Amino acid sequence: MTTVIDGDAVAKDLRDELAARVETLKESGVQPGLATVLMSEDPASETYVSMKQRDCEELGIESIHVEIDPEKPAEGLYGVIDDLNADPNVNGILVQLPVPDHVDKREVLRRIDPAKDVDGFHPENVGRLVAGNPRFKPCTPHGVEYLLDDAGVELDGADAVIVGRSDIVGKPMAHLLLQSDATVTVAHSHTDDLAAKTRDADVVVAAAGVPELVDGSMLTEGTAVVDVGVNRVDADNEKGYELVGDVEYESAKEKADVITPVPGGVGPMTRAMLLYNTVKAASSQEDVPVDL
């Protein structure tokens, strides 16, 4: 019997726990605040940012939003980051990616105060993650780790295959799984015979951005399958498209012991983990322990 992980439900429970932590902070006179910075007119980026703002408001986290004209020079964005770094009301800073081509993304990530870097992308925080001493775990892999733990998936000694090696998902995921004592293979677009690798795996995390790349024929009975992918594909419906993951759900579900759906799997956890990191940032900056 396959367990379908309900990411919405797990995320809701986590948000409830975080709301209690926010209360603890407020009782100690600390109002947590997250700044979102948008330098883009991309509708998807606008949607992501407004969802993050709404999530904050629901939890009692103050949301500060800054929009910068994407035509303006990069220095405008750098100045905003410097100001937010210096603002004591701001505990976390999130610059919505991607930034325009004329902006140096690495400089953006380097410029954010590592103590406020709730995405976990600053080189210092990447280094700490790799060294096994993370300050902020990047939201998506942290959400995957949390879902696997919540579903009781044994990682110690498990063979895990991650499909994708991006800086925001695949690579940090590999480090988190290694730290849970899994044996980790990271596959990518140059990987030879992906199916042979996924068939040998106890845990598959698909994060390639390729619709339905991993199907049931590539899995062995009893695998834990986590689908990070979110892909728009044409569909004969009102919107003209639907969202599918990187896993071909129906055939994979036949083989999987546990599986995450798309939507309603990893997505809500990514959002919840941003709140987690913001609460953690406020707690450590203000020296009010909240047990996270």
Does the annotation flag 165 for ligand binding? yes
Q: Which is nearer to ligand NDP, 87 or 211 (CB)?
A: 211
Take residue 80 and report the two structure tokens written for it: 């905003």
Q: Give bridge partners of residue 34 from the DSSP assignment.
A: 63, 92
**Phi then psi dihedrals of residue 146, to 5 deg:** -65, -45
Q: Which is nearer to ligand NDP, 11 or 290 (CB)?
A: 11
Q: Which is nearer to ligand NDP, 180 or 260 (CB)?
A: 260
Rounded least distance, CB 74 to ligand NDP, Å: 22
Q: 55, 96, 197, 202: which one is catalytic?
A: 96
Take residue 4 and report the two structure tokens written for it: 């379908």
Does the annotation flag 28 for ligand binding? no
Q: Is 139 helix (H, G, I), strand (E, B) or coil?
A: helix
Rounded least distance, CB 264 to ligand NDP, Å: 10
Q: What is the DSSP letter of 247?
A: B
Active-site residue, 52 included: yes
Rounded least distance, CB 69 to ligand NDP, Å: 25
Directed axis angle between helix 266-286 and helix 7-27, to 10°?
A: 20
Q: 55, 113, 117, 119: which one is catalytic?
A: 119
Q: Which is nearer to ligand NDP, 149 or 167 (CB)?
A: 167
Q: 52, 116, 137, 280: which one is catalytic?
A: 52
Contact between 186 and 162 (Cβ < 8 Å)? yes
| Site residues, ligand NDP (CB under 6 A) | 140, 163-166, 168-170, 187-191, 194, 207-210, 213, 228-231, 266-267, 270
Tell me the pairing of strands 241-244 and 231-234.
antiparallel
Active-site residue, 105 included: no
Q: Which is nearer to ligand NDP, 115 or 129 (CB)?
A: 129
* d(C-alpha 243, C-alpha 66), whole Å: 29
Kind plus residue range of the DSSP H or E element containing 3? strand 3-4
Does the annotation flag 144 for ligand binding? no
For 153-264, list the strands marked E by DSSP.
Answer: 159-163, 183-187, 203-206, 223-227, 231-234, 241-244, 256-259
Rounded least distance, CB 163 to ligand NDP, Å: 5
Contact between 1 and 258 (Cβ < 8 Å)? no
Directed axis angle between helix 7-27 and helix 43-59, to 10°?
A: 50
* d(C-alpha 119, C-alpha 65), whole Å: 16
Does the annotation flag 180 for ligand binding? no
Rounded least distance, CB 244 to ligand NDP, Å: 9
Active-site residue, 119 included: yes
Catalytic annotation, residues: 52, 96, 119
Which residues contribute to the annotated binding site for NADP(+)? 164-166, 230
